[in-house]
Structure 1
Amino acid sequence: MTHRSLRQRLVIHATCVALATAGALLPAHAWAAGPVMPRLPMARALPAADWVEVTDNPSGITFKLPAPPKLTRTSKPTCRTYTAASAATSQTVAVCDIPGTDKMEYLYSTADGALDSFRKKAGSDVDSGTQETEVDGRPALDLHASGKNDPPHRLLFTARYIADDPYTVSALSFAYAKNEKALDQEHQQLLDSLRIPS
């Protein structure tokens, strides 16, 4: 597989995952409405103790989501995408079988695809930033993005991408700006629950 085709597969994967996560938070008519999004009540984060543990097969990767997830399987690349929503956020974990993606450059490609998708759905310009990190010695990249609509219509997106050859793991969370505190807490709960076998 060429470097270019691998990058294209990562971008496609990230776009699909970002759309699935945002779609779980927002009803279809909200996307059609452009920047005018429905008002949602302020919501508190769901305690981690109430979350549901999920195990991805065949990777053995485990994590917790705020509700029993919807599982979507895709090919090219082969991914298993788990999406669930709490009262405050929409959360997704995607595990993709993409051998050779153990470098930071591939995580940037994945983040770029997700950010392009978020820009289209946020209904406005987007502020964003990335930070390189690692998870148990594995390369990882954190992405934070925010639409520029006025609250409460402003949409927030935060993600962590982890390279664990032959898998690429994406953990994403969406929320409206008025639920930013819950977003921060629930995204951290998701990251804290994530276990990747050695």
Structure 2
Amino acid sequence: MMLVEVTAPPLAALPVAGLQDHLRLGTGFGTAGDMAETAALAGFLRAAIASIEARTGKVLLARQFRLRLEEWRDPMGQPLPLAPVSAIERVEIVNVAGAVTPVDPAVYRLVPDMQRPLLAPVGAFLPGIPASGHALVTFSAGFGSAWANVPADLAQAVLMLAARYHEDRSYEGTQAAMPFGVSALIERWRSVRVLGGRGNSRGGA
């Protein structure tokens, strides 16, 4: 199993001004200074968002992902590793020679769920994956395209963690070092990760 982030949140969607307010940063650095500050704060925000998403399995800002599977975990319904999922964009079957066959959207459907969304068949089973081949599932996930769509507790957790990165540039943001306040805010959103295939662990981009 391998999960790849196809698109990234645009700079305009990041709460740079909110982080500036959170940090009580002033203005008046000049155009070059403002651009450098914005780039730095955006970097801290992206790192904080990635950390929160990794801990919760929830996608904060809407974007597209691609999941590669060598086999279905269950041909009667494949769990997707992220939530909330808004749409299955396409499903493709790739054979051992690399030939790609699009799957008719009429034979599969999305079962939305905040913890365990599913790619489910319309009939009895999902289409077969050939030996030494794989399936590609492209889907869109996220609470919305604007920061205002992100739940308040998750949004606050991101600002707190980004502020920690800003204040301590050596902070690595490991799970063991996650600040208590951030952990408390995201705890209710955490879910047990599902596997992409029998006996396989989750891969990453």
Q: Same fold (TM over 0.5)?
A: no
When the two structures are superposed, what TM-score results if normalisation uses the length of structure 1? 0.23
Larger Rg: 2
Q: Which has the higher contact order (CA 8 A, sep 6+)?
A: 2
Pick the structure with more strand per residue.
1
